[in-house]
Amino acid sequence: MSVRPILIAPDPRLKLVSEPVAEVDAQIRTLITDMIETMYDAEGIGLAAVQVGVAKRILVLDVDQKEGTRAPRVFINPVITWSSEDSEVMEEGCLSVPDIWDEVERPKAIKAQYLDEHGVPQLLEAEGMLAVCLQHEMDHLNGVLFVDHLSKLKRSMALKKLAKAKKLKKAS
């Protein structure tokens, strides 16, 4: 197990479309373990494999860990099979876009199918934070960042703020 470096926007690898996982083997399970450790180390609630430089359709979530309990969930090759017409707006942030938060509108409820860490097919009905987080992380698998959902002006402001923070960090 090891903490992997998280790619920070505008790293072009974050725009890659991730490839499906053909087989859940020891290498994939090691990646999953590293992703969970990396997510907790960064105090995040979700992480896609592409954020650690591996363009595979894998993501991990733990929306409960903010309350002090750990219950990580693994999603391999996730697909949203249904989304509600009703939407809701929630504030989102991202480990690959640090210190930037903004409101994003997404479907309020979704249904998804995926493989778990053992390669067993699963179905999930989700709403609220779990639905938002799953949609956010699935966007990463398609090369989309949450700031891509913002207006052109807000996205530009967010990316300028991120670039400025990077320059200040390098200078110190």
pLDDT, residue 172, reads 66
Per the domain annotation, does 29 fall within a domain?
yes
Domain membership of residue 4 (yes or no) is: no
**3: in domain:** no
What pLDDT, in 10s, does the model give residues 30-64?
999 999 999 999 999 999 999 999 999 999 999 98
In this prediction, residues 61-73 reach a mean pLDDT of 86
1: in domain: no
When pLDDT is cut at 50, 70 and 90, the band that residue 19 belongs to is very high
Report if residue 76 sits inside a domain. Answer: yes
Give the up-direction half-sphere exposure of residue 48: CA atoms within 13 A in the CB hemisphere: 33
pLDDT in tens, 88-114: 999 999 999 998 899 999 999 999 999
Q: Which domain holds residue 30?
A: 12-171
What pLDDT, on a 0 to 100 scale, did the predictor assign at position 69?
85
Q: Does residue 91 sit within a domain?
A: yes
- Reply yes or no on whether 137 is catalytic: yes
Quote the pLDDT of residue 162: 77
* Residue 119: CATH number of its domain: 3.90.45.10
d(CA 162, CA 99): 8
Q: What is the mean pLDDT of the chain?
A: 93
Identify whether 5 is part of a domain.
no
pLDDT tier at 163, thresholds 50, 70, 90: confident
**CA gap 10, 34 in Å, rounded:** 23
State the catalytic residue, choosing from 85, 88, 127, 137. Answer: 137
The token duo for 64 is 């409960």
Q: Looking at the 3D structure of the chain, how many domains does it have?
A: 1
The answer as to whether 7 is a domain residue is no
**In this prediction, what percent of the chain has a pLDDT beyond 70?**
97
Radius of gyration of the chain (CA): 16
What is the per-residue pLDDT for 152?
87
Question: Please, what sign has the CA dihedral across residues 117, 81, 65, 166?
Answer: positive
Please state the pTM of the whole predicted model.
0.92
